[in-house]
Structure 1
Amino acid sequence: MNGEDLTGSRSYANYKGLKFIAYGSEKGWYRIEMRGSVHRLYNNGQDNSDDFDKHKLSCALGILRTELGIHTEKEILNNLEFGVNIKLTCPVSRVLSNLLTYKGIPFERIRGDISYYQCETNQFTIKIYDKATQFKLSGNILRFEIRVKTMAFLRNKGIMIKVIDDLLDPVNYQKLGTLLVKCFDRILFRNDDIDLGRLTVSERELFLRGCLKEFWERPFLPDFEVKTQYESARKMQVRLENKFRSRFAFPMIADISQLIKQKWAELAHS
């Protein structure tokens, strides 16, 4: 499908799950932007519910080159989304219902959907949802992914992705997987199976307060008279977060972290 807006300054085209926007002026067209999923491109424009390994990625970039004439070795990436599908032994809803925060930023349901949560930061978004429910599949399939809004975030992590072909660099691919696991490990979960009767008074207070997402909101420097007070508050919150995580975390979290690591390694070597 092709189209053009009423001003004549933009032109649109769609191809197998990708959307192309050409920007122009009275002097002519000066930039083309590609949006969408190369995973869907590989699947001939169909959904992206299956696994997308490095081999499929390489094939998808080949389609960009051969069918669309895109120079993947020089076209710049402005954002990126990557993640894994993992199979759980328990309903995905049990994991999602115990989500709290990532570094003090709360996870929120999207459009009221109890099977889809995300956490927004300035540079990236963490998405975690029930893939089977979203795509009407069987089984307990958890999707965990990161959507990078600004590539400076990756560069600051030592992941040097600038052009499309950089996605196939083995070093970059490995580092993306490491980042995925690290982000998951910083998520704070509660455990709704905790027996309050077995907790001490101080433990019960921390658990009940910690189950409220707003309790973990990070201290804000302008709220403090001096910087040392702010730094003390930050350190105290980190200590409480670590204590809460070690004492009250959902029991499957360590296993899920390992599954994410294993799944990424599987995708990298397919």
Structure 2
Amino acid sequence: MIDFVRIRFDNARNLEEVISNPNAFKEFYTQYEVHSQHVLYPKRVKFRNLDVVVTKESAYLKNSLHKYYNLKYDGSDHNSNDFTFSMLCEVVEEILSKSDEFGFGVITQLEIGFNIDTKLPAEEIIRSAIFLYKEKAYTANENFNGNGELLLFKSTNYLIKIYDKAKQYSIAANKLRFELKYTERAELKKLRINHLSDLVDKKKIRLLCKNLLIKLDDFLIIDAFDSVGTIPEKDKDSLRKYSSDRFWRSFGQKRGLVGLSRQAKGNHKKRLKVLVDKHELSKTKTLIKDGVIKKYVYLMNN
């Protein structure tokens, strides 16, 4: 569920004092200028996988809370298993126990994601059913040298990744990962996610999940239709057209006809919905959405 986090600390000197304490951190790294014997920035510590870095002007903590938990209990640097709410609470409590100062930092980046069990291999779903996000194509498509398919969709304050979690870690089961990463403060602020303590507030985690589902709804995910004999060729042509970002981009290029363009676009979106409903092509999207909700309920209750 909650995974990567980046936290900014406005009072760098306070955090510098914290990480310099040998009773709290066994290893403390910095740079040293030999001739002048000056200790230079950045100064840093690492506990498990978490990096804490102090520069002259700022300080931050970053990395995966999920991997932190796994490293603590079995020494493995992965996030392929389930990371429950109680596990998250344990990690947050342990970080805050190092120093109260960690509780004052502001979360600037945050990742929430779900590993969903699927009948089909995740890469097959990604290649055949996931087309557009808000009528835009993916920003990147990677296959990690045969170790799993990944689609990346970038937006202003966040990015969304959909990828094959099973193949990434050579897991026998089929697992699709749907992941939302907030890359700026703007949306986190709206969701009232400010400090580490907010991550152990169930109401705020619910808001994060709700926002993820809203973004999932904005995806054009259509079941494979090319080989379905019962769908007329005319409807297939329309579905192919609607699955292309080039078609939707054309509406933004009609200068002087903004109102008409917006109305025409709305009519085409309605037509697309009619086609998807008529030929029952929303099973994959329903599977993903139901999988997210089911996994959310499980993780929050364990």
Cα distance in 1 between the residues matched to 2:267 and 2:94? 52
Name the aligned partner's letter for residue 80 of structure 1.
L
Measure how far apart 1:160 and its partner are: 1.2
After superposition, where does 1:1-270 map in structure 2 within 5 Å?
2-4=29-31, 8-24=40-56, 30-44=57-71, 46-66=77-97, 68-97=98-127, 98-113=129-144, 115-156=149-190, 159-195=191-227, 197-200=229-232, 202-217=234-249, 219-220=251-252, 223-247=254-278, 249=281, 251-270=283-302
Q: Rg: which structure is higher?
A: 2
Cα distance in 1 between the residues matched to 2:215 and 2:177? 14
Aligned CA distance change for structure 1 residues 38 and 204 (closer, same or farther; 3 Å): closer
Once the two structures are superposed, what CA deviation does each residue of 1:178-200 show, in whole Å capped at 9, x if it has no partner? Answer: 22222222211233344465334
Structure 2: gaps spanning 5 or more residues: 1-26, 34-38
Aligned CA distance change for structure 1 residues 209 and 10 (closer, same or farther; 3 Å): same
Q: TM-score, normalised by structure 2?
A: 0.76
- Count of aligned pairs: 261
Between stretches 89-98 and 3-12, larger displacement belongs to 3-12
Cα distance in 2 between the residues matched to 1:18 and 1:241? 46
Aligned CA distance change for structure 1 residues 135 and 234 (closer, same or farther; 3 Å): same
Cα distance in 2 between the residues matched to 1:190 and 1:207? 9
Please say if residues 226 and 236 of structure 2, whose CA atoms lie closer than 8 Å, have aligned partners that are also in contact. Answer: no
Measure how far apart 1:16 and its partner are: 1.3
Matching residue of 2:9: none
Between stretches 105-114 and 173-182, larger displacement belongs to 105-114
Structure 1: gaps spanning 5 or more residues: 25-29
Once the two structures are superposed, what CA deviation does each residue of 1:142-189 show, in whole Å capped at 9, x if it has no partner? Answer: 111100112322444xx2111111111121111222222222222112
SS in 2 for 1:78: strand
Between stretches 12-21 and 188-197, larger displacement belongs to 188-197
Aligned CA distance change for structure 1 residues 192 and 22 (closer, same or farther; 3 Å): same
